[in-house]
Structure 1
């Protein structure tokens, strides 16, 4: 879903009957479809995946970009159709609004192409204004000066795009690296999540007298995995809908601010890419904005961010929902007939796209190990590189969707008390993340390539 549409999200608890109606599952299936397609096309001796991947070359004369686009018109059309078919299948199940999505995504795709062209301009490169940040800024400028039509809003599926991108990220990370980094990331995430959650919750309830359920929703969004955590925990503790919406607005507002602040701080402090990505993974509140901030550094920062945020923090959501459900039922909610939480809730709440991320890594790792004909260069050139480029397109869709669905005036109207409580968590989160990622575990994150 796009950020604007997230506020209309249904109860995320779901069950097996919701298998076809949850974007987490669709992100996993579509991401793995792309990974398997790359392998199958290579196995058949077909260069389709390499052909459709477009990467605008860096240029100083705009005619270079125009010439490149003109000579790749057929590939551009094929890429557009490839994404359109994949996403339309998911939209049919998730929203049923395929026709409007078709129109909206067509606009989004060609706006993404324009952003890619601008992002390849050597002036942008010189000032480190990377394509993801450019996409966000363009989206924000459009949405804050123009009214976004409904046909376009149906294509702003932020969460779906970023989750597919994260699944594809798994294809570029060997499974052994995920296993090795998992314990480090999880330990660091535990410290960050607990400290940030308790700070926001205590400040919200004790100092600003916020409702406990509202404070818990705010705390979950600031400490675990942003919007998804706010929705999941808000539903778990039965927070009021307007409180969940306010928490989402705060998360989005602070996440957008952090996209610009963190890369500037990293460059000012001369932090190396590995620790920088891990710090972003602890300091950012949501996957999509964090990925934008990491992309402003380099590919290594993207990898360590993903390990820290996805393997470390996002996996917390199921456990955290279980804990908060138990707390809500036993301490806050004394009504009769309340159903006690059970261990199945952890699986129901667990972000399934994380499984897709791990499966993608396993598939590529096993394929590389089992193929006698597969050299590392062939693997990289014909399978991993196309997947990475398709992942980059998914992230451009993500950042444009964030900008196009975020009106800063609306995001800033949540009230000073919730903002102050959330800010207290930020003031703990950022320095603690720096201490853990750069000072204490910096040498480890440097080695992650």
Structure 2
């Protein structure tokens, strides 16, 4: 479900309930980003409280090597009860956000239950020792399951209500902030920022140039270029909002991002291992090319913990460009877009942008990520941070698995060849290939010890 459709449906639901925009409470006015920060913070605080008071938090087990392991460990009554209890807690937390956002909690609960079940199936398949040996993790199976359902059947309305990939990803990312400590950010801060500036700028202008060469209109080209160069769906939404872009074009680019991410998440980590690319360079490469922090994290997991840290740092260095991009794109479009087309059709002018639009476009979940990182870096002892790490990492992984099932359901192959003869899709693929090789070059230069000391994330 796209952010726009969700917002429209939520607004309609509030109206049906007699709650007009001017009557909404503070909680009802909160965006998806803020709810991700709230839920992530609740989870982190709860884990810290229980751990500090000596209460161990048990999470389901998914690792197994044979049929005996499968039935006696994974499918044992005790583990199945843990899976059920974890799902109930996640559903309760998510339902609070859905209810106060004007969503249909009943339909959401039914859809969430199915998505959570499918996520656990992906965990179990990916948890097999023989499967994981080949580098196939739960991410791959979650995406495949979602894609099969999303493209082979028409999703019922009760299931669509729960297909909220961005919401799940953002909540998981807030929790992920607990593992990215400021000491690590300082180690790779300057190389990450320089890589972000070089990669974002070059890839954005190359993508727009290619769009024009292939006769893709500028509105489409800007949304597409922002998605490829910065951070996928979020950047596409920002760019479309900054220029009052066509929602159909935004949906199209979103589909491209989701579909392109699938092979890249598998092929790029394989390439890092096959070509023996140093882990820190491989992580920076993943962070600069994959379009969301969630996919960077998942792909980095296939390489190693150093790759995860380097990748997330590189990706968040790019994410800070979201607000900046919205500001400059809006300014450029305000002057670039004529008041009329062909002297006849009026075109809505974009308002002069200011700091307000930067704040409105900036993804608030990033604040939750940074806040969690600061708390775990400076307010907690290293022993405490290390002690709750495995639990928080397990909870974050569950949010991501639910998100990847949803991402697969949202990816529609049929629409890619219909709009403008498939030229935007071809543009996106070529721009992404350029992005892959360009980022690899600068990852070697900046993280390979040529200009700066090689960051040590051990």
Calculate the TM-score normalised by the size of structure 1.
Answer: 0.89
Question: Deviation at 1:132?
Answer: 1.2
Distance 1:425 1:336, change over 3 A: closer
Tell me the residue number matched to 1:430.
436
The CA distance in 2 between the partners of 1:304 and 1:419, in whole Å, is 29
Which residue of 1 is the match for residue 358 of structure 2? 346
- Which structure carries more relative contact order (alpha carbon 8 Å, separation 6+)? 1
Which string of whole-angstrom CA distances, capped at 9 and with x for unpartnered residues, describes residues 8-58 of structure 1? 2659xx9x97983411111111111111111111233322xx22x223233
Q: Indicate if the aligned counterparts of 1:25 and 1:353 stay in contact, CA closer than 8 A.
A: yes
Number of residue pairs aligned between Structure 1 and Structure 2: 431
CA distance in 1, matches of 2:54, 2:262: 43
Indicate the residue corresponding to 2:209 in structure 1: 202
Describe the SS at the equivalent of 2:29.
Answer: coil
Residue 154 of structure 2: aligned partner? 147
Name the CA distance, whole Å, in 2 between partners of 1:321 and 1:126.
43
Q: Equivalent residue of 1:431, what SS? A: helix
Moved more, 172-181 or 271-280: 172-181
2:310 maps to: 304
Is the 1:253–1:412 Cα contact (8 Å) retained in structure 2? no
Report the equivalent of 1:164: 171
Q: Give the equivalent residue in structure 1 for 2:343.
A: none
- Measure, in 1, the Cα distance between the counterparts of 2:215 and 2:72: 58
Shift in Å, 1:213: 1.7
CA contact (8 A) 1:275 1:446 kept: no
1:185 paired residue number:
192
Q: CA–CA distance in 2 between the matches of 1:422 and 1:17?
A: 39
Distance 1:243 1:228 in 2: 14
Structure 1 distance, partners of 2:428, 2:349, is 33
Give the Cα–Cα distance (whole angstroms) in 2 for the partners of residues 291 and 153 of structure 1.
26
8 Å Cα contact 1:133/1:292 also seen in 2: no
Match of 1:25 among 34, 38, 56: 34
Tell me if 1:400 matches 2:405: yes
Provide the C-alpha distance between the structure 2 equivalents of 1:96 and 1:172, rounded to a whole number of angstroms. Answer: 32
Q: Secondary structure at the match of 1:171?
A: helix
- Work out which of the residue numbers 175, 179, 183 in structure 2 matches 1:176: 183
Q: What residue number does 1:448 align with? A: 457
Unmatched tracts of structure 2, length 5 or more: 9-20, 340-346
Which whole-Å CA distance do the structure 2 matches of 1:139 and 1:338 have between them? 38
**Alpha-carbon separation, structure 1, partners of 2:391 and 2:269:** 27
Query: Structure 2 matches for 1:33-182, cutoff 5 A?
Result: 33-47=42-56, 50-51=57-58, 53-68=59-74, 69-182=76-189
Residues 20, 66 of structure 1: alpha-carbon distance in 2 compared, 3 angstrom cutoff? farther
* Superposed CA offset, 1:403-440 (max 9, x none): 12223233454433212322332232111111111344
Distance 1:65 1:363, change over 3 A: farther
The answer as to 2:370 corresponding to 1:365 is no
Between the aligned partners of 2:227 and 2:180, the Cα distance in structure 1 is 27
Q: CA deviation at 1:117?
A: 1.5
Shift of 1:446: 5.5
Alignment match of 1:318 (pick from 314, 320, 323): 323
TM-score (ref. length: structure 2): 0.87
Decide whether aligned partners of structure 1 residues 242 and 181 sit closer, same or farther in structure 2, where only a CA change above 3 A counts.
Answer: same
Cα deviation, 1:106-145, whole Å, max 9, x if unaligned, reads 1111222222121111111221111111211222233333
Query: CA 1:185/1:94 → structure 2, altered by over 3 Å: closer, same or farther?
Result: farther
1:228 aligns with 234
After superposition, the Cα gap between the structure-2 partners of 1:35 and 1:75, relative to the gap in structure 1 and judged at 3 Å, is same
Structure 1 residue aligned with 2:332: 327
Cα 1:23/1:29, change in 2 over 3 Å? same
**Deviations along 1:58-81, whole A, 9 cap, x unmatched?**
322354454344223443332112
Deviates more, 1:149-158 or 1:65-74: 65-74
